[in-house]
Amino acid sequence: MTLFVIAGEPSGDRLGAALMVGLKTLSPGVTFQGIGGPLMQAEGLESLFPMEELSVMGLVEVLPKYFALKRRIAQAAQAMLDSGAQALVTIDSPDFCLRVAAIVKVARPKTPVIHYVAPSVWAWRPGRAARMARVVDHVLALLPFEPPLMTAAGMTCDFVGHPVVAEPLATPSERALIAGDGPLILALPGSRKGEVARLAPVLGQVVARIRAVHPTARVALPTVRGVAGLVRELTAEWAIAPHIIQDAATKRAAFAAADVAIAASGTVSLELAANDCPMVIAYDMNPLTLWLMRRAALIDTVTLVNLVSDTRVVPEFIGPDCRADRIAPAVLALLQDGGASQRAAMRVTMERLGRGGPAPGLRAAQSVLDHLRR
């Protein structure tokens, strides 16, 4: 059996590699063609072209590459049609992947198309599911409440678990990398320059308020190469000099050892939950963007721990509420009481996302094979 697999982002590359491992376990002899990054290539995929060409976000960034991306869409669709593959498996990156799927479906309507990562129609723009159903037959969902939404739109769907439950946790030797006295605060201002520029000054003010109450407090700040220089610049005058982290082992240690985290909104809340770390969510953005998002939103929380656990125990400070005088008391309260209610919700979250069961990659592989047999 041959599958044509497409991933367009590093997160999709991780999902794709785990899926490929699962498929090779359950269906020895399966082969792959398509587009992927280094992790998928390590599992035997020869990428049609560099995946990085597809890792473009935002209208301003996409416009200069519009015609190049259109050519790549046509190239990928033709390669799929020429491959003899039994199915097309697309992974996230809907702007690219679903356009490829549409071309394939026009040429060969009976070709099974499987999409990994359901669109967040529970949060906004619910019409996306119906549009996706025109070219997608089956969906692999990361969140347990997504299958009914996909099924209602006309696709079959299996919950296969979230990859966070399979991420390695810190070993005892790794935890020693971040050892020290005093409470450890994890500062997570985001991975994009705009996020860091908006949030780092606010977090600096929060840190100053924490130091006034806990003079021995320490701060760890995991970051990525693309914004590390900006992070160093914006944290140079913080009341507590942060330990800036870029390597994976020390990041795992910091997540495991932290007493509380102040984090930008996003999937990082699930990483913190996996490490049993209480958190406060803080995020700021352009006021017009915030107004538009709130008008379109279908939910009253942006934190996945709150959504999956069906609680609202993680406090959020978004937009005009993203102020040190509001964030700091919530952090200090967690340091004082240990965040017992949050820890209970985080355990529920991890259980509902698949912790303790088969690895998500294996579950995804089984779902793909079951769908193709049907």
DSSP class of residue 135? T
Tokens standing for residue 220:
């760890």
Confidence of residue 58 (pLDDT cuts 50, 70, 90): very low
pTM of this structure: 0.87
Question: What confidence score (pLDDT) does residue 55 get?
Answer: 63
Question: Topology of 2-161+356-373 in CATH?
Answer: Rossmann fold (3.40.50)
Cα–Cα distances (Å) from 181 to 39, 185, 240, 354, in that order, read 38, 12, 14, 34
314 closest CA partner among 258, 263, 259: 263
Topology alike, domains 2-161+356-373 and 172-352: yes
Per-residue pLDDT reduced to its tens digit, 222-248: 998 888 999 999 999 999 999 999 999
Domain boundaries, the chain: 2-161+356-373, 172-352
Phi, psi of 121 (to 5 degrees): -70, -15
Report how far residue 180's alpha carbon sits from residue 373's, in angstroms, rounded to the nearest whole number. 55
Report how far residue 217's alpha carbon sits from residue 204's, in angstroms, rounded to the nearest whole number. 13
Where does the chain show beta strands of DSSP type E? Answer: 2-7, 31-35, 87-91, 113-116, 138-141, 156-159, 184-188, 218-222, 243-245, 260-263, 279-283, 316-318
Lowest mean pLDDT among 77-81, 91-95, 237-241: 91-95
Report how far residue 65's alpha carbon sits from residue 78's, in angstroms, rounded to the nearest whole number. 20
Q: Report the largest interatomic distance among the alpha carbons of the chain, rounded to a whole angstrom.
A: 67
Multiple choice CATH, 172-352, 3.90.180.10, 3.40.50.720, 3.40.50.2000, 3.20.20.60: 3.40.50.2000
